[in-house]
Every structure is written in C-alpha cells, then in structure tokens.
Amino acid sequence: MSNITEINLSDGRELFYFDDAPGTDRSAVDERGLPAVTSTSERRWDALAGEWVVIAGHRQSRTFLPPTDQCPLCPTRDGHQTEIPASDYDVVVFENRFPSLSTAATGASSLTGRGLFHTEPGHGRCEVVCFTSDHNGSFSQLPAARVRTVLDALADRTAALGRIEGVEYVFCFENRGEEIGVTLSHPHGQIYAYPFVPPRMERIRQSLRDYHETTGECLQCAQLAAEHADGARVVEKGTHFTAYVPFAARWPYEVMIVPHRHVPDLPALDEAERAELAELYPAVLRRFDGLFDTPAPYIAGWQQAPTRQDRDQWHLSLQVFSIRRAPGKLKYLAGSESGAAVWINDIAPERAAAALRGEDR
C-alpha cells in the first residue's frame, strides 16, 4: 500500500499525497489564500428518460487549457503556486475546485414540488487525481511502480467516498486529449461520487441481476469465458486479467479489462492482481497509441459496483475507448447515437482487436 499524507488547501479542501515510498516531507503549505469553494450544483429529474441530470452553472469559470507555465496541476515551483503546494510529488488526489457535485452544494430550484419539476441539491464529491508531476508525461509511459501507486490511490478513495452518506456510486476515470474535451493537459484523472447510480451502470446492474436470477451465475464471468473460448477479440491475457474488444463494441477502438476473479470494485483487488494490472493496463494504452501516428484520445472508466446495492452480483471492469476511427478522423456522436442512443460502429470488433494486437494496420 502507498504512503498517504493528508493536508488541507487554503480554502479548506482536502488533498492527499500518495507516495511510492515512505519518508517524503509533505509539510509544504498552500499560501494562496483562496476563498472557500461554493457550489450551486443541483440535479434535476428527467421524467421522460427516467434519469437525473446535473446542473452546475458555476463550472463555466473553470480553468481552460492554460499555458504550461500556468498549469494548476504542476507542483509549486519558482514562485508559481498551484493546487499542489509541494515542489514535487508522486500521485496526488484533491477535491476539485470547480466540482459538479459537492457535499456543500446549495443548489435547489424554486420549482421543486411543482408537478413534474423535481430537483435535489447536487450532493456528492468530485476529486482530481494527478498521476505524475511531469506535465508532459502520460499514464501509458508511467513505470509499473507508479501505476501501482495510482491504483492504490483509486482504491483508497473509492472506499472513502463510498462511506459518505448519500453517495450511491463512485466512478474513477481518465479523459485524455483535447478531442475528448480535456481542459487541462497535465496527466490526470477524476473521481465522481454520485448520489445515484449512473444510467449506464444502472442498465448493467439490471442485466447482471436478471442473468443471475435466471442462471445463478455472473454475466461478466460468462462473457469473459466466452471471449477466452472464441479468442478473436482478446488483446492481452494475463494470469489475473484479460483485455478484450467487446463483441458489440460501440466505439471504433474499445477494450474491456476484466479481472478473472469475481470482485466488485478496486478495493477488493489483492496484491497479485494489482501488481499485474500495473503492467497490463499501461500496455493496453500503449497499444492504443500505436494505432496511429499521434497519441490516441481516449476515455478510461472503471465500472465498479454500486456502494450499497447488488455488490455480490457485480463484476469489476475497466472500459477504455478512443473516438479516433482513422488517421485524422474522429467518431462523432451524430443523429443515431446522440438522438436515439443507437450506436453505429464503422469498424468490426474483430478487426479492431487485430489492429490492437499489431496484426492489422
């Protein structure tokens, strides 16, 4: 387990240093004198879709693609004070200064209670995870020891955020590339603690529940066994994890990384599983980068069990996908996808798996 040091930033937000090794001095103080963070976040119920929508107007003023020397995720150096007071760090997690969800959210529409207009404060928490102090680095190039520290940090924060009253789901993810919509280029991810189970995870939960009620088995375990037997879509296979392109992949290049053991979330992974994952995960990302002449824009998101329900039936997985379908071409969500939620994939999953294995370019 990584070495953890907790401090408070000048506006009261929590920050956690996760160090590869013990003994690092973490006494640096945030001297910026920031005002307390406020959040007007609220969630509104879409009665037709049966889904919550988060409204967070205060985020319009968040930092957007600053120059490198003004990056808020770099260490504090040479007079440039940032979100991280230390002059260097391994992995850092801190409360987002512009959160979509907050335990202190005050937003609540005056329309609440009027017919179909149901609104709740945007309760929850949003955290930023900095993978390295190197502004020009990338997750795929981190040494295994550092990836392991990141995994330990995600597991630790998943457990901590899941204990917050009212949090129903913890989602750890990374967005990389301006094409994806990243507003800060420093290598980092995020953790969202939602006051509800997100729609995609809710559908997965129902599928897992239905399959278990019918067969007494885990659907994710059955799918993994079927992918092993078929083999055409397997990209990487280790002792504890397999990476494969889903049979019904939505995105041009999409991979699921699934543990062989039936576990609900990141905190449940044992030492051997975390050690292998620290090698396999960045290897998969390097395969994405090898597809084209430029680094792949991607989203990597951990599909973990809800914090309080159906945990025994859930099987952890990591979804990694890129919106790039060819050199200089992106997969846009057009009418069918955005309007009807019916995905149309231009690349057969078997061809995508072969390309990721380096067999077809």
At 114 the pLDDT is 65
**Least reliable range by pLDDT among 78-92, 113-127, 173-187, 235-249:** 113-127
Every domain of the chain and the residues it spans = 3-196, 200-356
Q: Does the domain at residues 200-356 carry the CATH identifier 3.30.428.10?
A: yes
Interatomic CA distance for residues 302 and 268, integer angstroms: 13
What 3-state class would DSSP assign to 84?
Answer: strand
Contact (CB, 8 A) for 60 and 126? no
pLDDT of residue 259 exceeding 60, the answer is yes
DSSP 330-360: E----IIIIIH-----SS-HHHHHHHHTTS-
**Least reliable range by pLDDT among 49-58, 94-103, 190-199, 337-346:** 49-58
| CATH architecture of residue range(s) 3-196 | 2-Layer Sandwich (3.30)
Catalytic annotation on 123? no
3-196 and 200-356: same fold?
Answer: yes
Q: Looking at 58, 123, 186, 188, which residue is catalytic?
A: 188
Instruction: At 340, give phi and psi (nearest 5°).
Output: -120, -5
**Helix-, strand-, coil-residue percentages of the chain, each rounded to 5:** 25, 25, 50
pLDDT tens digit sequence for 86-109 = 999 999 999 999 999 999 887 665
Interatomic CA distance for residues 119 and 235, integer angstroms: 44
Q: Give the residue-averaged pLDDT of 205-232.
A: 97
Q: Give the residue-averaged pLDDT of 338-347.
A: 94
pLDDT tens digit sequence for 48-64 = 999 999 998 766 666 65
For 95, half-sphere exposure in the C-beta direction (CA atoms, 13 angstrom radius) is 23
Q: At what angle do helices 271-289 and 349-356 cross, to 10 degrees?
A: 100
pTM: 0.95
DSSP 288-301: HHTSSSSPPPEEEE
CA 106 from chain center: how many Å? 25
Share of the chain above pLDDT 90, in %: 82
Higher pLDDT, 311 or 63: 311
Q: Give the residue-averaged pLDDT of 226-255.
A: 98
Interatomic CA distance for residues 187 and 192, integer angstroms: 17
Q: Which residues pair with 188 in a beta bridge?
A: 130
Confidence of residue 145 (pLDDT cuts 50, 70, 90): very high
